[in-house]
Structure 1
Amino acid sequence: MLAAYANTVSSDDPLSALAVGELPDPEVPDGWTTVDVVASSLNRHDLWSLAGVGLPKDRTPMILGCDGVAIRRGHPHLIYPVIADASLPDETLDPGRTLLSELHPGTFAEKIAIPARNLLAAPEGWSAHEAACMPTAWLTAWRMLTTRGRLEPGGSVLVQGAGGGVATAAVRLAATMGARVYVTSRDEAKRERVAGLGATALPAGARLPERVDVVIETVGSATFDHSLKSARPGARIVVSGATAGHEAPVDLRRVFFLQLEIIGSTMGTRDELAELLIFCSEHDLRPVIDRVYPLREAKKALAHLADGDIFGKIVLDHS
């Protein structure tokens, strides 16, 4: 089968570790099933894997990809990428939790082995490209806003950064929930585009018209001080990434005086993904797609993701 995979790892040149070619069909653990993948989408996680973050060299070759859509019993199904103890109330808190492409081969292949419970029917009328964007970026944004951020109707949200998959998802979701949404970006073109999604777009570091209830923070040290200063008393600053540095200075005086909550968030549960799909279907809410590449051009797609000049999700077509 055709697959895009980490043939080795390289912190200096992650893309050099990528290979695209034929691999054997996946082995199927007890209780799992095999399905044909028709589309997948890229995440920063794929670049980190190629760099050796979370994927040691002795675990290569490893098929990349967390997100995807597969055909099961003739119908498209989303692939939920968290492999964990399903008996827990929140499988994302399982100490042994892992994502596809870490211990088990991922979605950048024509076939995948997956637990049957990790397949959820795609919404009616959605394309495979649209559905493939949901399980990581959109699920992450949903959990940040709801379970972790506890956004209430009529609330206010700041999303740091305007172009990535989580950021565009958070803007669309929060705006649909009726929140006042502010977004920061250094890129004027991205500010113009994100304004079209229902947000007030501002230059990076700009003073907001108001302090907000929830901050969606995926950038890290470059924006974290601004996140603190933009939060109202009792606000939640929800962190799911650190693309611009993980060692952020924190003014603890502001944290305790304003009783701020700094909350980590990673992925989401299968039940949260099901809730997200219902919400999007009810509101006819679709993901923003930046570009679609054929699976054979996975290296071009990952290079496009690495250069940072994106708006929305990058998708691989497996047909």
Structure 2
Amino acid sequence: MKAFVIESGELKVKDMKEPELKAGEVVVGLKTAGINRRDLGLPKRYGNRPEALIIGSDGAGIIEAVGEGVSGLSVGDEVIINPALRWYENSEAPPAEFDILGMPDHGTFAEKVALSAEQVEKKPGYLSWEEAGSLALAGLTGYRALFTKGAVKKGETLFIPGAGSGVATYLIQFAKNEGARVIVTSRSDEKRKHALEIGADRAIATDSDWKQELADETIDLVIDSVGAATFNRSLDVLKKGGRIVIFGATTDDNVDFNLRSFFYGQYQLFGSTMGSREELRDMLAHMEKHNTHPVIDQVFDLENAQEAFDHLSRGKQFGKVVLHIK
């Protein structure tokens, strides 16, 4: 089968052996797979190992085989992949056995994947294959950050630095579904325009004076994945006693901030990453209730996966970048 792999430090499309079905597993013939920023960093993490690793966390397809002991799933079922491995119940933090599909296990940038039957969910019928294949990682990350950790409420104001990522597009839509007010930032006029089109109430320039721009707003909740470049600026516009949730750090991981100002301001800081199967199922129900569709930026064929990676690495996308597999 065709797959997009890391091999000896290089990304390439190559023929790989089809996965073997084990007890408790299913084999999914993949139709589409979403690319995430996590995937961009895997070559560096995997290094120069000669064994080819199929990367990719998100995907959707049709079950082609069902292993011994699997119930509730059948050949022909349309499913999405849950990339949050072995995290079933909602908890304050992931269990020790939690990992993300696509390293060290073979992932979804291939024609087929074998994985535990516990890691698939029925595909929502109203979603296209492109939407379903790009849903789980970013959508689940946003859902947990917004609802489980951020506890957003109707009438509150959410501030999101950076409007173009897949997670941000889910955050905007989920928060609006809940009746919150949403403000985003972007350097790009085009991304600010798109954010308003999918429901954001305000979109301001990243290089503007946020305190001045938002002087007439009360920010209850910040969800930030940028890191050092925006953390203190976000705190500056957050109301006293407000909440800030961090789920990533695309700039420097290390942040300096004034502890005295922080504790006098009674701010609440939460870390978040991915989410449990329980939350994924809640997210799917939320999306179906509100007829929420993932935002797709661009679709590439599997053979052009490197081009898709290059597109995402340039940071020009708004929404999800997707691989069409078959």
Instruction: Give the TM-score of the pair, scaled to structure 1.
Output: 0.92
Letter in 1 for 2:18: D
User: 1:193 matched to which residue of 2?
Assistant: 194
- Determine whether 1:210 maps to 2:230: no
* Change over 3 Å in CA distance of 1:74–1:28 after alignment to 2: closer
Secondary structure at 1:285's aligned position in 2?
coil
d(CA) in 1 for partners of 2:81, 2:92 = 16
User: 2:33 matched to which residue of 1?
Assistant: 40
| Contact 2:90–2:278 (CA under 8 A) maintained in structure 1 | no
- Determine whether 1:81 maps to 2:83: yes
User: 1:3 matched to which residue of 2?
Assistant: 3
* Change over 3 Å in CA distance of 1:224–1:58 after alignment to 2: same
Instruction: Give the TM-score of the pair, scaled to structure 2.
Output: 0.90
Q: In the TM superposition, what is the alpha-carbon distance from 1:211 to its structure 2 partner?
A: 3.1
- Determine whether 1:62 maps to 2:53: yes
User: 1:115 matched to which residue of 2?
Assistant: 116
Secondary structure at 2:3's aligned position in 1?
strand
Structure 2 unpaired stretches of 5+: 64-74
Residues 128-155 of structure 1, C-alpha deviations (whole Å, 9 max, x = no match): 1111121111110111000010111111
- Determine whether 1:317 maps to 2:320: no
User: 1:21 matched to which residue of 2?
Assistant: 14
d(CA) in 1 for partners of 2:97, 2:50 = 17
Secondary structure at 1:51's aligned position in 2?
helix
Letter in 2 for 1:48: G
Q: In the TM superposition, what is the alpha-carbon distance from 1:101 to its structure 2 partner?
A: 1.1
- Determine whether 1:254 maps to 2:256: no
d(CA) in 2 for partners of 1:59, 1:262 = 41
Secondary structure at 2:323's aligned position in 1?
strand
Letter in 1 for 2:3: A
Q: In the TM superposition, what is the alpha-carbon distance from 1:214 to its structure 2 partner?
A: 1.2
Q: In the TM superposition, what is the alpha-carbon distance from 1:59 to its structure 2 partner?
A: 7.9
Alignment of 1:67-146 (within 5 A): 67-72=58-63, 73-84=75-86, 86=88, 89-90=90-91, 93-146=94-147
| Contact 2:141–2:275 (CA under 8 A) maintained in structure 1 | yes
Secondary structure at 2:312's aligned position in 1?
helix
- Determine whether 1:291 maps to 2:293: no
d(CA) in 2 for partners of 1:210, 1:112 = 47
Letter in 2 for 1:226: R
Q: In the TM superposition, what is the alpha-carbon distance from 1:237 to its structure 2 partner?
A: 0.8
Structure 1 unpaired stretches of 5+: 10-16
Residues 161-191 of structure 1, C-alpha deviations (whole Å, 9 max, x = no match): 0111111111111112111100011112211
Q: Higher mean Cα deviation, 159-168 or 71-80?
A: 71-80
Letter in 2 for 1:302: F
Q: In the TM superposition, what is the alpha-carbon distance from 1:302 to its structure 2 partner?
A: 0.5
Residues 51-89 of structure 1, C-alpha deviations (whole Å, 9 max, x = no match): 22xx35448421111000021232321100122264x65
| Contact 1:91–1:269 (CA under 8 A) maintained in structure 2 | no
- Determine whether 1:221 maps to 2:214: no
Q: In the TM superposition, what is the alpha-carbon distance from 1:260 to its structure 2 partner?
A: 1.0
Residues 19-59 of structure 1, C-alpha deviations (whole Å, 9 max, x = no match): 1011001234442221111110000111110122xx35448
d(CA) in 1 for partners of 2:8, 2:233 = 38
User: 2:164 matched to which residue of 1?
Assistant: 163
Q: In the TM superposition, what is the alpha-carbon distance from 1:91 to its structure 2 partner?
A: 9.4
Secondary structure at 1:167's aligned position in 2?
helix
d(CA) in 2 for partners of 1:130, 1:164 = 15
Tell me the matched-pair count.
309
Letter in 2 for 1:144: A
User: 1:279 matched to which residue of 2?
Assistant: 286
Secondary structure at 2:59's aligned position in 1?
strand
Q: In the TM superposition, what is the alpha-carbon distance from 1:251 to its structure 2 partner?
A: 2.1
Residues 199-237 of structure 1, C-alpha deviations (whole Å, 9 max, x = no match): 110111523232312111011111111111121122211
* Change over 3 Å in CA distance of 1:306–1:203 after alignment to 2: same
